[in-house]
């Protein structure tokens, strides 16, 4: 459980860290250019509060200034988020290989599907029903996790191309922001509220872009180890789903046998009573016949459920083989592509 929790933390999108009242340059070190000395959230909020309290500024001008400060605050939040993501990617390069090895070891420790399906029925039918319900809940949870990891893997496959496109765009945007900051038109002038707001906005944008570039670089560097971790995680969950499915199927078989036995017993007793009750007691004869008929229908329903379960298992097995075949072909195509590069 601890290993899976660690995996979830590695794949989870990092939460936007609360901006502390420390210089923003301490949040991350930009890999392109000098370290960025961006504004802090406290500085921006204090400046905005001063604007709000200044009766000498017209309401229309304040509205424009509010928009600029709101954009600056949003950029600072994105900068903190990018810094947090970069840190997670950086950590994954040292943590993911060990976690992946632990997951692969757990796969080897799992019982075979045959052993997972070797279950013993509890003596109490109610206990059997509860155990079946618990195993079905476990299977549902595992299937949900597997679907999530599979979806994450599909999204991750698109990221290399997205990163390659985004990096030059972000570099151009960063150069543009720095160019505007270096412009004489934006020289420090505390007497101009608009100029102060513009500088806050550009400095916040500069920090956001520098942190984004750092995040993208760390994401690129960690792609291989994170992909290996995802594959190990998916393999473990796939095996766990296989075992849980076998366990559920075994308990369902036991439950069906138990219910079938009860239905057969009820049918036999109803048939016996139908023979014993006086023929002139039409109501009793009809009731016995109805009970016998219901017992027969119950047996038929159970048999139909077993056929449906078998068909479902057959489809699942074929889907798994198809997925494995697809992955194999994809790896072969990727190998050929890399060979020609």
Q: What is the pLDDT of residues 136-171, one digit of tens each?
A: 999 999 999 988 888 877 777 778 889 999 999 999
Average pLDDT over residues 204-219: 96
Task: Give the Å distances, CA to CA, from 31 to 40, 72, 213.
Answer: 20, 22, 8
- Of all residues in the chain, what percent carry a pLDDT higher than 90? 46
- Between residues 333 and 88, the one the model is more confident about: 88
Residues in CB range of 126: below 8 A, 6 or more apart: none
Cβ atoms 217, 90 nearer than 8 A: no
For residue 178, give the nearest of 143, 208, 147, 148 by alpha carbon: 208
- Weakest mean pLDDT among 131-145, 233-247, 261-275: 261-275
How many whole angstroms separate alpha carbon 80 and alpha carbon 40? 10
Q: Which residues contact 54 (CB under 8 A, 6 or more apart)?
A: 193
Give yes or no for residue 181 having a pLDDT over 80: yes
Q: Answer yes or no: is pLDDT of 15 > 50.
A: no
Counts of helices then strands in the chain (DSSP H, E) = 8, 0
Distance CA(9)–CA(17), nearest Å, equals 15
pLDDT tier, 237 (very low <50, low <70, confident <90, very high otherwise): very high
3-state DSSP of the chain = CHHHHHHHHHHCCCCCCCCCCCCHHHCCCCCCCCCCCCCCHHHHHHHHHHHHHCCCCCHHHHHHHHHHHHHHHHHHHHHHHHHHHHHHHHHHHHHHHHHHHHHHHHHHHCCCHHHHCCCCCCCCHHHHHHHHHHHHHHHHHHHHHHHHHHHHHHHHHHHHHHHHHHHHHHHHHHHHHHHHHHCHHHCCCCCCHHHHHHHHHHHHHHHHHHHHHHHHHHHHHCHHHHHHHHHHHHHHHHHHHHHHHHHHHHHHHHHHHHHHHHHHHHHHHHHHHHHHCCCCCHHHHHHHHHHHHHHHHHHHHHHHHHHHHHHHHHHHHHHHHHHHHHHHHHHHHHHHHHHHC
Residues 210, 223: Cα–Cα separation, whole Å: 20
pLDDT-based confidence at 287, cuts 50/70/90? low
Q: How confident is the model at residue 317 (pLDDT cuts 50, 70, 90)?
A: low
DSSP 25: G
Question: Does residue 327 surpass a pLDDT of 70?
Answer: no
Output the pLDDT for position 10. Answer: 47
Q: Given this model, what pLDDT does residue 9 score?
A: 44
Instruction: Quick: pLDDT tens for 50-87.
Output: 999 999 889 999 999 999 999 999 999 999 999 999 99
Average pLDDT over residues 108-126: 88
Instruction: Note the helical H segments in 183-281.
Output: 193-221, 223-276
């Amino acid at each position: 459980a601890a290993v899976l929790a660690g995996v979830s933390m590695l794949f989870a999108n990092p939460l936007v860290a609360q901006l502390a009242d420390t210089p923003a340059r301490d949040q991350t070190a930009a890999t392109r250019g000098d370290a960025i000395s961006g504004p802090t959230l406290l500085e921006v909020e204090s400046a905005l509060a001063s604007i709000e309290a200044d009766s000498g500024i017209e309401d229309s001008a304040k509205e424009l200034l509010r928009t600029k400060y709101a954009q600056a605050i949003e950029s600072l939040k994105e900068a903190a988020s990018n810094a947090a993501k970069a840190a997670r990617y950086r950590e994954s390069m040292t943590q993911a290989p060990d976690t992946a090895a632990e997951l692969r070891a757990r796969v080897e420790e799992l019982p075979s599907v045959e052993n997972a399906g070797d279950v013993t029925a509890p003596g109490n039918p109610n206990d059997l029903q509860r155990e079946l319900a618990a195993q079905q809940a476990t299977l549902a949870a595992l299937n949900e996790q597997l679907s999530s990891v599979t979806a994450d893997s599909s999204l991750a496959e698109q990221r290399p191309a997205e990163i390659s496109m985004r990096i030059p765009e972000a570099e151009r945007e960063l150069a543009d922001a720095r160019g505007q900051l270096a412009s004489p038109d934006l020289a420090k002038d505390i007497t101009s509220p608009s100029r102060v707001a513009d500088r806050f906005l550009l400095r916040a944008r500069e920090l956001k872009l520098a942190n984004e570039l750092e995040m993208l670089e760390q994401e690129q560097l960690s792609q291989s180890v994170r992909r290996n971790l995802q594959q190990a995680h998916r393999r473990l969950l796939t095996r766990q789903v296989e075992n849980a499915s076998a366990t559920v199927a075994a308990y369902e078989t036991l439950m069906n046998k138990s219910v079938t036995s009860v239905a057969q017993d009820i049918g036999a007793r109803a048939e016996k009573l139908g023979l014993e009750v006086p023929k002139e007691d039409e109501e009793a004869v009809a009731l016995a016949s109805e009970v016998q008929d219901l017992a027969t229908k119950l047996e038929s329903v159970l048999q139909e459920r077993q056929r449906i379960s078998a068909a479902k298992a057959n489809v699942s097995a074929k889907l798994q083989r198809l997925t494995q075949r697809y992955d194999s072909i994809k790896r072969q195509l990727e190998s050929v592509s890399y060979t020609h590069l």
